[in-house]
A and B are shown apart, each in its own frame.
Chain A
Amino acid sequence: MTISVRESGTAQVVEVEGDVDLGTSPNLRRTLFDLMNKTPKLAVNLQKVRYIDSSGIATLIEVLKSTQRLPMEFVLFGLSPAVQNAFRLTHVNRIFRIVDTEEQALTPA
């Protein structure tokens, strides 16, 4: 799994690529928590995620719950078929703010 972070206006956009699983999800968790408090908006691009397991989904839920206690927004966009599949299986779609494109993600909710 590779992770890259860039700024877009006041938001931080996190690009995730590859497999998010038991071995790699701690890296994603570390990156997302490092960005907490540093931006009013955290947008995560999941378009190039080939696989995500329950530890990856749990990481995203954990980040979401932490951002809800802060004046910041957490949004997911560009869900790959693998991510859509995993979200459908675990019924977590309605928990997150999910949009199709980066442009939509960076638009205020």
Chain B
Amino acid sequence: MSTQGAASTDFSIQVTFEMLSQACCLPIVRATVAQLAATVGWTESETRCITMAVDEALANVIRHAYHGRTDALIQMHCRAGEDQLEIRIRDTGDAPDISRICAREVGCDRIGGLGTHIIRDVMDTVSYESRQDGNWFTAVKRLRRQG
């Protein structure tokens, strides 16, 4: 993991992870994302939601892009600014099937699709892109300050 002050004035903290596709890495990422979200200014409850959304995105990579392989590489870039958090995750596994993403009915007892529902519900913008250098997941959450 590396941390640095950003050259851009839009983002004051940037954190980059390079990790293997192993579930044991997830608690470390969650702790960092929670700290970043709290630093930007989200409440404890909102921070929990954001942390969960990011965790679900990584879990999707491990499960669906890498099919449980534990030796593949995941890169994650977190950028926290005055009023937003941007998360970018790159993998080189199978590309996501966009047509199947978030096809879950809210409140039903179907088991699949919960993670993607959480990501869509929590983050303001979510995008998936398959490029030559891998699959990119990008999500942004903006802080709405009151008053």
A residues in contact (CB < 8 Å) with B: 19, 21-24, 51, 53-55, 57-58, 61-62, 64-65, 81-82, 85-86, 89-92, 94-95
Q: A82 near B48 (CB under 8 angstroms)?
A: yes
B134 CB to nearest chain A CB (Å): 21
The answer on a CB contact under 8 Å between A89 and B111 is: no
Task: Enumerate chain A residues within 8 angstroms of B52, measured Cβ to Cβ.
Answer: 51, 53, 85-86, 89
Q: How far is the CA of A72 from the CA of B52 in the complex (A)?
A: 32
Question: Which residues of A lie under 8 Å from residue B30 when comparing CB positions?
Answer: 51
Complex: chain A residue closest to B58, CB-CB: A22
> In the bound complex, how far is the Cα of B56 from the Cα of A91, in angstroms?
16
**B111 lies within 8 A of A58 (CB):** yes
Looking at A55, A82, A90, A95, the one whose CB has the most chain B CB atoms below 10 A away is: A90
Q: Kindly supply a per-residue 1/0 record for chain B positions 9-31, scoring 1 wherever the CB is within 8 Å of any chain A CB and 0 otherwise.
A: 00000000000001110110010
Find residues 86-143 in chain B having any chain A CB closer than 8 Å to their own CB.
Answer: 106-107, 109, 111-112, 114-115, 117-118, 121-122
Shortest Cβ gap from A49 to chain B (Å): 12
Q: Are A64 and B109 in contact, with the CB atoms below 8 A?
A: yes
In the complex, the answer to whether B48 meets A85 with C-beta atoms within 8 Å is: yes
A53 touching B56 by the CB < 8 A rule?
Answer: yes
A55 touches B48 (CB 8 A): no
A65 touches B117 (CB 8 A): no
- The CB with the most chain B CB atoms within 10 A, among A22, A24, A94, is that of A22
Find chain B residues with CB under 8 A from A89 CB. 49, 52, 117-118, 121-122
**Contact, CB under 8 Å: A90 / B55:** no
Closest 6 CB pairs of A and B: A23-B23, A54-B114, A54-B115, A91-B107, A22-B23, A58-B111
